[in-house]
A and B are shown apart, each in its own frame.
Chain A
């Protein structure tokens, strides 16, 4: 009986296609998705492939103004990398970047999550007010934001000092926020966090609204404290989007340049406390050591990859199980 059943199914299956036909079919199956991916591939590879290749090549060259003008290519092996690792600036910048990313990403995710949770506890009107306020802040272009923030923290006429003095903090009369590295970076951090919160809070709130309400109620009936509910029920459900937002924030803030540059207007350079992104820019453009600057850039990518690699793997895998 089992034998005949097997025999029947065998007859139902069409004869195995030849190797060549199978290969052709596999190729055709790959062709459509490949064609869909092609424009993105061509753009990223074509427009960024060469510059990135060039950047890596430059990091192995001695390339200053002299070589640039004379169109001379002088390979110097690992010299740039040796200089980077031997430089005291490297560890300083690495530390500065790590602290900076920790502060900005930590605060962004913490406040962003808090606001997302808060939005769930508000009535409809107030929730709309919060959303629109965040959209307005988010819509403000970062270059405009840099100008406004430096104006707000201006020493003599800045409104922040004015408010502080009005509140009785007379020490803030003509207080220079950019006099010390810690204070200057606190302002930069505040601005970046301010800019990043809307995106994070709105994304997380959207994710939270999709969590079935019954789950919270069930947990509450079981006597779980709000903290436990958050840790055991809420957070695991929004974890994927939380991871994506964190990884992107680490990448963006780890390369921070614009905000530091415009807000401190070169003053950070004087105090010599600069994150990797700014150090790279100074080596390449101010000191015109393009090779050294390129090496710093490559090291930055490797550092960011080491920090985020584990989570990127998780993110890629998440796609697999769901698709």
Chain B
């Protein structure tokens, strides 16, 4: 009796597992479709793209769109600008946010709660409303058209989220570990560097990805702050591309693919770390 019950139970379980697998595959198809469509269109010649029966594989495979997109003026310069600005932003924001997260979790600091709330309130201000005043203050500081000005802007804009996220990661590291290191004769700085830093590393990588994407994506601020074409970032380049080409979807998709590529590479490099990083962050309970 119990045996048959168990048998039917596991048969049901097996059937259910097949249902889950099917659901997962449908989900993967849906979530990947826009990415796939972008890459697919970027390899199609212009005439093929604007056809009433879109093909799901680039039958008339061509690199033309990519050659055309990368051949546009200032592509390499703008790519370099983007990399400089984004990599600097990520480095600076991680250091600053890590220090702040340590300050609010490891010490009884008066006003820490107020700081955390204020930082979230800052996130609520519509970014479009901040563009003009920010432009004016950067103008006064003579930081327009400079990498420093844009880096400063991105660091500040991504700080709120990074601080909140890192706060969770730092809190997840048991304080006993650091105290043990202190007892063993480690200096405060040594405990910080040898214990806290390695354990929070996955968290740093995960939050680094967030600031990377935010800074890489931004068009609004880069467009206002960087007015000379040789100072543009790749996102500004891409929108210039969009307005210049009208309905050249092949070129646009190629440009979008190129634009997305560095983020994907960065992602794949740190992919394993991200999942483990998110796990560590989740301990914050």
Contacts and interface: CB of A to CB of B under 8 A. Distances in A.
Nearest to B283: A210
B204 interface: no
A118 B278 contact: no
Interface in B131-167: 132-134, 136-137, 152-153, 155-156, 159-161, 163-164, 167
A254 B113 CA distance: 24
A323 B112 CA distance: 13
B211 interface: no
Interface residues of A, number: 97
Given A47-B134, A148-B256, A210-B279, A139 B34 contact: no
Contact of A280 (B17, B117, B129, B217): B129
A178 interface: no
Interface stretch (A3-11, A49-57, A84-92, A99-107): A49-57
Contacts of A126: 21, 24-25
A300 B124 contact: yes
A203 B282 contact: yes
A13 interface: no
A128 to B, nearest CB: 10
B177 interface: no
Interface in B83-134: 95-97, 99-100, 102-110, 112-113, 115-130, 132-134
B148 to A, nearest CB: 11
Interface string A288-323: 001001100100110011001000100010111011
Interface stretch (A14-22, A72-80, A149-157, A266-274): A149-157
A142 B260 CA distance: 9
Interface string A183-208: 00000000000100110001101110
B264 interface: yes
A62 interface: no
Give the most central of B268, B279, B281: most A CB within 10 Å.
B279
Interface class of chain B by DSSP? helix
Given A37-B103, A144-B260, A312 B125 contact: no
A137 B52 contact: no
A304 B109 CA distance: 27
B107 A33 contact: yes
A149 B35 CA distance: 10
Interface class of chain A by DSSP? helix
B264 to A, nearest CB: 5
B264 A136 contact: yes
B57 interface: no
A81 to B, nearest CB: 15
Contact of A141 (B50, B108, B263): B263
A141 B263 CA distance: 8
B274 interface: yes
Contacts of A225: none
A251 interface: yes
Contact of A118 (B24, B112, B115, B266): B24
Interface of A: 29-30, 32-34, 36-37, 39-41, 43-44, 47-48, 50-52, 54-55, 58, 115, 118, 121-123, 126, 129-145, 147-149, 151-152, 154, 156-157, 159, 162, 194, 197-198, 202-203, 205-207, 209-210, 237-238, 240-241, 244, 247-248, 251, 254-255, 257-258, 276-277, 280-281, 284-285, 290, 293-294, 297, 300-301, 304-305, 308, 312, 316, 318-320, 322-323
26 contacts: A33-B112, A34-B103, A37-B103, A37-B104, A122-B21, A131-B275, A136-B35, A137-B31, A137-B34, A138-B213, A139-B263, A141-B217, A142-B217, A144-B260, A194-B34, A197-B31, A205-B278, A241-B284, A254-B124, A281-B128, A305-B121, A305-B124, A312-B120, A318-B284, A322-B171, A322-B284
